Amino acid sequence: MPPRRSSRANPSKENTTEQKSKCNGITEKEPDQWVMLINSTTLQTNQDPEENPKFYQLKHPKTEKGALFLFSGNDTNVYELQSFNQQFRSWIIDNKILKDGKILFTTPIDPLFLVLPYLQKEEKSGKFMTLDQIVADDSFPECRRLCNTSGMSLLKEISDVKGDDSFKAYRFNKEKTLSWLKEKANRLADKMTEKDICVSGSSHSVNFIKSKKSSVTSREDFVRFAHGVVSDFISEDLSIALRDYMGIPVIIPKKEIENEEPPAKKQKTGSSAPTDDYSKEQSKPKAQTEKKVSTAQKKLSQVDKSGMKSLSSFFSPKPKK
């Protein structure tokens, strides 16, 4: 499955902080500007500077670590700040070169995702609490701004509600939350199916044309991918509960077997002793070769040798009389 999200941005608040380069000792300043893609309506300003769009650090619902979010004027909408960065890239702006080549962009986020961890935290008490009592965090004090967002009108989708319009109290409801998350995942899967977005493990180029023989992405693939996207904004436990609630089968990855030993050879049931006796030397037939006879030997063989003594008789001792 291809990566769904890029790394989240976290630019330093102190843009004028100086850093010393370890390689040459030159003092450099952190960049005081970035390249960002943002909706123009988000940048609408008001006469009151306090009501202008601003960045605040909040607890991310997945990692529970600090992440930057952009609040529009009057804290109506919330946007997640993300970054895309590659090595050896820079920007040319007018007649200057911006060394930091990353690009930042904002994506709208449902503020209920940011409130959900606080609702889950208070679930153990079993009590109904007001929204300002639930959304309180000393580590991220700006989380109180979530109470002013337009998404708080839909808190009934993930919680039980008591009271009237003048005073309301809330308590986390897991069944409602799973139904709400399932609806979001299904809508995302429908949109990806409509756009025919590739969600397989392999990626294709922009000009890639599907052949008739290529495998068709099933509905289950889109639903599984949509579940993964939604899981980027909820806790691990809630993600598993949502998977079971949606009936998504668990895929167990195949384990790679490394250094697999060959199977042991079966032992023979019969006697393993050799049947032939190798202690005795096998007699090998000698090749019979005819000796060549010279011309003198041929003539000698034709002479009558009767009465002639052999040459060795002249060297043997004479017999005693």
Q: pLDDT per residue over 204-215, tens digit each?
A: 434 444 444 445
Does 136 have pLDDT greater than 90? yes
Rg of the chain over all Cα atoms, to the nearest angstrom: 45
Q: Is the dihedral of CA 111, 74, 171, 120 positive or negative?
A: positive
Q: pLDDT per residue over 220-273, tens digit each?
A: 899 999 999 999 999 999 999 999 999 999 887 666 445 555 666 555 555 555
163: left (phi over 0), alpha (psi -120 to 50) or beta: left
pTM of the model: 0.66
Residues 260/33, Cβ–Cβ less than 8 Å: no
Q: State the pairing for strand pair 91-93/159-163.
A: unpaired
Cα gap 78→70, rounded to integer Å: 6
Closest by CA to 158, choosing from 125, 121, 112, is 112
Cα gap 44→29, rounded to integer Å: 30
Cα gap 89→66, rounded to integer Å: 26
The more confidently predicted of residues 6 and 130 is: 130
Helix and strand totals (H; E) in the chain: 6, 11
Q: 31-45, 174-188, 216-230, 231-245 — which is least confidently predicted?
A: 31-45
Provide, rounded to the nearest whole percent, the portion of the chain with pLDDT above 90: 40
Q: pLDDT per residue over 144-158, tens digit each?
A: 999 999 999 999 999
The more confidently predicted of residues 184 and 280 is: 184
Q: pLDDT per residue over 266-306, tens digit each?
A: 555 555 555 555 555 555 555 555 566 677 777 777 766 66
Three-state DSSP class for 150?
helix
The stretches of the chain forming alpha helices (DSSP H) are 111-121, 131-134, 174-195, 219-231, 236-246, 295-302
pLDDT in the model for residue 306: 67
Q: Which residues of 57-80 are buried (b: 16+ CB within 10 A; e: fewer)?
A: bbbbbbeeeebbbbbbbbbebbbb
Cα gap 222→192, rounded to integer Å: 7
Does 26 have pLDDT greater than 80? no
Three-state DSSP class for 241?
helix
pLDDT in the model for residue 73: 84
